[in-house]
Homo-oligomer: A and B are copies of this chain.
Amino acid sequence: MEEVLDLLKEKNLKATPQRLAILNYLNHKTHPTIEEIFEEVKKSFPSISLATIYKNINTLKDVGIVIELNPGGKLKYDINIYPHFHGVCEKCGNIEDFYDEGVMKACKEKLKKSMNKNIKRLSITLSMVCDKCAKA
């Protein structure tokens, strides 16, 4: 949690309990929707408002701490710390993270050469069939 405080300070954002609760939830549950974040954080902050969730997600998005995923259907949110790519199951819609720094780096290199420009952030999303749905 120490890192989070530093990260917020670095971006000049105040470490309010509500904000920390949102970040903490994002660290445990991957890719929740706004509604899911709201429902969860409300357990520890019964008085929290939906508007506060929106405002926080937007500011965290603006500074790059959080990224927005559009898998079709509702938008989902993800803490943007380690380089990874996303697999969206075309049956159930769930998103799975794949961490592979080597592959991400290799793709980045190839893309960079192809387009002849610097790449600031790289987002790779693919559709697949997840293991659970493959069995069914």
Contact A128 B124 (CB under 8 A): no
What number of copies of this chain does the assembly contain? Answer: 2
Residues of B within 8 A of A119 (CB): 126-128
With A70-B68, A70-B70 known to touch, is A120 a contact of B128 (CB < 8 Å)? yes
> How far is it, in angstroms, between the C-alpha of A113 and the C-alpha of B126 when the chains are bound?
13
> How far is it, in angstroms, between the C-alpha of A116 and the C-alpha of B127 when the chains are bound?
13
Contact of A123 among B75, B90, B113, B125 (CB under 8 A): B125
Contact A118 B107 (CB under 8 A): no
Q: In whole Å, how far is A29's beta carbon from the nearest beta carbon of chain B?
A: 21
Contact B110 A103 (CB under 8 A): yes
What are 20 inter-chain pairs, A to B, with CB distance below 8 A? A68-B72, A70-B70, A70-B75, A87-B115, A98-B115, A102-B114, A103-B110, A107-B110, A107-B111, A107-B124, A111-B124, A115-B128, A117-B128, A118-B128, A119-B127, A120-B126, A120-B127, A120-B128, A121-B126, A122-B124
